[in-house]
Amino acid sequence: MKIYSLKSTLIIFFLFTVTFTSFAQNRTEQLLTDGWKFLKGKNEASFAKDFNDRAWKTVTVPHDWAIEGPFDKEIDKQMVAIVQNGESKPSEKTGRTGALPYIGEAWYRNTFSLPASAKNKQIILQFDGAMSEPKVYLNGVKVGEWNYGYNYFYIDITDHVLAGQKNVLAVHLSNQPKSSRWYPGAGLYRNVRLITKNKENIEQWGVSITTPEVNKDFAKVNIKTKLSAPGTKLITRILDGQGKLVATDTAKTYFGNEADQNIKLLNPNLWSPETPNLYTAISGLYDGNKLLDEVTTRFGVRSISYVAGTGFSLNGKVRKFKGVCLHHDLGPLGTAVNVAALRRQLMILKDMGCDAIRSSHNMPSLEQLELCDELGFMFLAETFDEWAKPKVENGYHRFFQQDAEKDIVNLVKATRNHPCIVMWSSGNEVPDQFGAEGVKRAKWLQEIFHREDPTRPVTVGMDQVKATMASGFGALLDIPGLNYRVHLYDEAYKAFPQGMLLGSETASTVSSRGIYKFPVVQAKNKTYPDFQSSSYDLECCDWSNVPDDDFVMQDDKPWVIGEFVWTGFDYLGEPTPYDESWPSRSSYFGMCDLAGIPKDRYYLYRSRWNTEKPTLHLLPHWNWEGREGQTTPVFIYTNYESAELFLNGKSLGVQKKNKATPQNRYRLMWMDVKYEPGTLKVVAYDQNGKAVAEETKTTAGKPYRIVLDPDRKQLTADGKDISFVTATVVDKDGNPCPTANNRLGFEVKGDGIFKAVCNGDATSLEMFDKPTMKLFSGKLVILVQSTHKQGSMVLKVKGKSLISGTVEISAQKQ
pLDDT in tens, 286-337: 999 999 999 998 999 999 999 998 999 999 999 999 999 999 999 999 999 9
Q: Are 598 and 488 contained in the same domain?
A: yes
pLDDT at 53: 85
pLDDT per position as a tens digit, 784-812: 999 999 999 999 999 999 999 999 999 99
pLDDT at 298: 92
Q: Are 694 and 749 contained in the same domain?
A: no
Mean pLDDT of the chain: 94
Active-site hit among 505, 563, 574, 644: 505
Q: Are 399 and 512 contained in the same domain?
A: yes
Give the 3-state secondary structure of 532-580: CCCCCCCEECCCCCCHHHHHHHHHHCCCEEEEEEECCECCECCCCCCCC
Q: Are 371 and 509 contained in the same domain?
A: yes
Angle at 787 between CA 784 and CA 789, to 5 degrees: 135
Decide if 405 is catalytic: no
In whole angstroms, how large is the CA radius of gyration of the chain?
27
Q: Are 471 and 576 contained in the same domain?
A: yes
Q: Are 439 and 565 contained in the same domain?
A: yes
pLDDT at 50: 65
- 248 falls in which pLDDT band (50, 70, 90)? very high
End-to-end CA distance of the chain: 48
Instruction: Please check whether residue 80 lies inside any domain of the structure.
Output: no
Residues 6+ apart with CB under 8 A from 52: none
- 114 falls in which pLDDT band (50, 70, 90)? very high
- 661 falls in which pLDDT band (50, 70, 90)? very high
Question: Which phi and psi angles does 320 have, rounded to 5°?
Answer: -115, 145
pLDDT per position as a tens digit, 418-475: 999 999 999 999 999 999 999 999 999 999 999 999 999 999 999 999 999 999 999 9
Q: Are 680 and 737 contained in the same domain?
A: no
Question: Which phi and psi angles does 471 have, rounded to 5°?
Answer: -90, -20
- 78 falls in which pLDDT band (50, 70, 90)? confident
Q: Does position 81 have pLDDT exceeding 90, yes or no?
A: no
Average pLDDT over residues 74-103: 87
pLDDT per position as a tens digit, 502-512: 999 999 999 99
Q: Are 304 and 313 in contact (CB under 8 A)?
A: yes
What is the Cα 73 distance to its own chain's centre?
A: 26
Instruction: Please check whether residue 647 lies inside any domain of the structure.
Output: yes
- CA gap 587, 564 in Å, rounded: 17
What CATH code is carried by the domain that includes residue 184?
A: 2.60.120.260
Q: Are 745 and 689 contained in the same domain?
A: no
- CA gap 177, 166 in Å, rounded: 36
Instruction: Please check whether residue 25 lies inside any domain of the structure.
Output: no
Which of 255, 271, 303 is the last residue in one of the domains?
303
pLDDT at 20: 31
Active-site hit among 133, 367, 429, 452: 429
Decide if 491 is catalytic: no
What CATH code is carried by the domain that includes residue 297?
A: 2.60.40.10
Which of 559, 577, 609 is the last residue in one of the domains?
609
Coil vs helix vs strand at 28: strand
Percent of the chain's residues with pLDDT above 70:
97
Q: Are 711 and 723 in contact (CB under 8 A)?
A: yes
Average pLDDT over residues 120-148: 97
Element (H, E) at 233: strand 233-239
Q: Are 719 and 788 in contact (CB under 8 A)?
A: yes
- 16 falls in which pLDDT band (50, 70, 90)? very low
Q: Are 186 and 175 in contact (CB under 8 A)?
A: yes
Q: What is the DSSP string of 90-139?
A: -EEESSTTTTS---EEEEEEEEEE--GGGGGEEEEEEES--BS--EEEET
Q: Are 290 and 413 contained in the same domain?
A: no
What CATH code is carried by the domain that includes residue 372?
A: 3.20.20.80
DSSP 8-state secondary structure symbol assigned to residue 252 = -
Distances in Å between the Cα of 307 and the Cα atoms of 7, 311, 505 are 9, 5, 21
Q: Does position 13 have pLDDT exceeding 60, yes or no?
A: no
pLDDT at 25: 65
pTM of the entire predicted model: 0.95
Instruction: Please check whether residue 89 lies inside any domain of the structure.
Output: no
Q: Are 636 and 768 contained in the same domain?
A: no
pLDDT at 160: 96
Instruction: Please check whether residue 95 lies inside any domain of the structure.
Output: no
Percent of the chain's residues with pLDDT above 90:
92
**Residue of 431, 518, 559, 533 lying closest to 81 (CA atoms):** 431
Residues 6+ apart with CB under 8 A from 180: 97, 392, 395, 573
- CA gap 355, 349 in Å, rounded: 8
Instruction: Please check whether residue 22 lies inside any domain of the structure.
Output: no
How many domains does one find in the chain?
5
pLDDT at 26: 86
pLDDT at 49: 72
Most distant pair of Cα atoms in the chain: their distance: 87
Instruction: Please check whether residue 740 lies inside any domain of the structure.
Output: yes
Residues 6+ apart with CB under 8 A from 529: none
- 1 falls in which pLDDT band (50, 70, 90)? very low
- 7 falls in which pLDDT band (50, 70, 90)? very low
Q: Are 290 and 391 contained in the same domain?
A: no
* Preceding amide of 558 cis, omega within 30: no
- 648 falls in which pLDDT band (50, 70, 90)? very high
Residue 660: domain span: 624-698
Which of 677, 698, 719 is the last residue in one of the domains?
698
- CA gap 538, 574 in Å, rounded: 20
pLDDT at 15: 30
Q: Are 370 and 455 contained in the same domain?
A: yes
Element (H, E) at 298: strand 290-299
Instruction: Please check whether residue 18 lies inside any domain of the structure.
Output: no
- CA gap 590, 575 in Å, rounded: 11
Q: Are 183 and 125 in contact (CB under 8 A)?
A: no
